[in-house]
């Protein structure tokens, strides 16, 4: 069965394809020219549903979308649903901006959150959520992953997401946890 991922992010596509491939689901990237809906939801779940619905309507295929981000306790949950738009520029720019906003803050507790919405062929929408707790470092460690991964320290593994092997990250990340829940739901539906 083929699903379209409502994203052009190659990192997300790779992670989702690896995990959902276990069910025989092929995950294709969103075609060029697909409309980018306004992510005006107040929660990760709402934004994921907006994106999945738009992708399904554009392609005619079942669609999967996620909305994910880093929530830092000392910043009142920011960058949160605005993680990808926290500041203009690249991942490195956003990481630098986050570190600047954390200057002088001792509480480094944070979590990655991922909500995934799936619009099935019959129009039913399923939404799941996964979280991974960690700590925000004072500097980048590791070149793997993407986004805030080099700053997100996982105490149980004594390293950042940027240092973890992809197969380990695919087992423990917020996205992996949400995808595991989605996989369990889809087993009964496809």
Report how far apart, in Å, the C-alpha atoms of 110 and of each of 61, 126, 148, 169, 170 are. 35, 26, 11, 17, 19
pLDDT for 131 equals 97
The mean per-residue pLDDT over the stretch 150-171 comes to 93
* pLDDT (tens digit per residue) in 23-48: 888 999 999 889 889 999 999 999 99
Q: How far apart (Å, rounded) are the C-alpha atoms in residues 171 and 34?
A: 30
Give the count of domains, the chain.
1
Q: Assign residue 88 the CATH number of its domain.
A: 3.90.950.10
The residue segments making up the domain with residue 160 are: 2-187
Q: 180: part of which helix (H) or strand (E)?
A: helix 174-187
* pLDDT (tens digit per residue) in 142-151: 998 889 999 9
Q: How far apart (Å, rounded) are the C-alpha atoms in residues 114 and 68?
A: 4
- Lowest-pLDDT range, 56-60, 111-115, 171-175? 171-175
pLDDT for 151 equals 97
Question: How does the average pLDDT of the chain come out, rounded?
Answer: 93
Catalytic positions are 67
Q: Which two tokens stand for residue 79?
A: 């960058």
């Amino acid at each position: 069965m083929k699903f379209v991922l409502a994203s052009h992010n190659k990192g997300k596509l790779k992670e989702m394809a690896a995990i959902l491939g276990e069910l025989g689901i092929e995950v294709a990237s969103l075609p060029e020219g697909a409309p980018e809906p306004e992510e005006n939801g107040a929660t990760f779940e709402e934004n994921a549903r907006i994106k999945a619905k738009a992708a399904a309507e554009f392609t005619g295929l079942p669609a999967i979308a996620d909305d994910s981000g880093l929530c830092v306790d000392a910043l009142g949950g920011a960058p949160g649903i605005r993680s990808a738009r926290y500041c203009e520029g690249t991942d490195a720019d956003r990481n630098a901006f986050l570190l600047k906003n954390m200057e002088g803050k001792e509480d480094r507790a944070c979590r990655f959150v991922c909500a995934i919405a799936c619009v099935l062929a019959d129009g039913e929408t399923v939404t799941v959520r996964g979280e991974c707790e960690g700590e925000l470092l004072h500097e980048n460690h590791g070149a793997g992953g993407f986004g805030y991964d080099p700053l997100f320290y996982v105490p149980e593994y004594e390293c950042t997401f940027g240092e973890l092997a992809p197969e380990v990250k695919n087992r423990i990340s917020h996205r992996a946890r949400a995808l595991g829940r989605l996989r369990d739901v889809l087993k009964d539906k496809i």
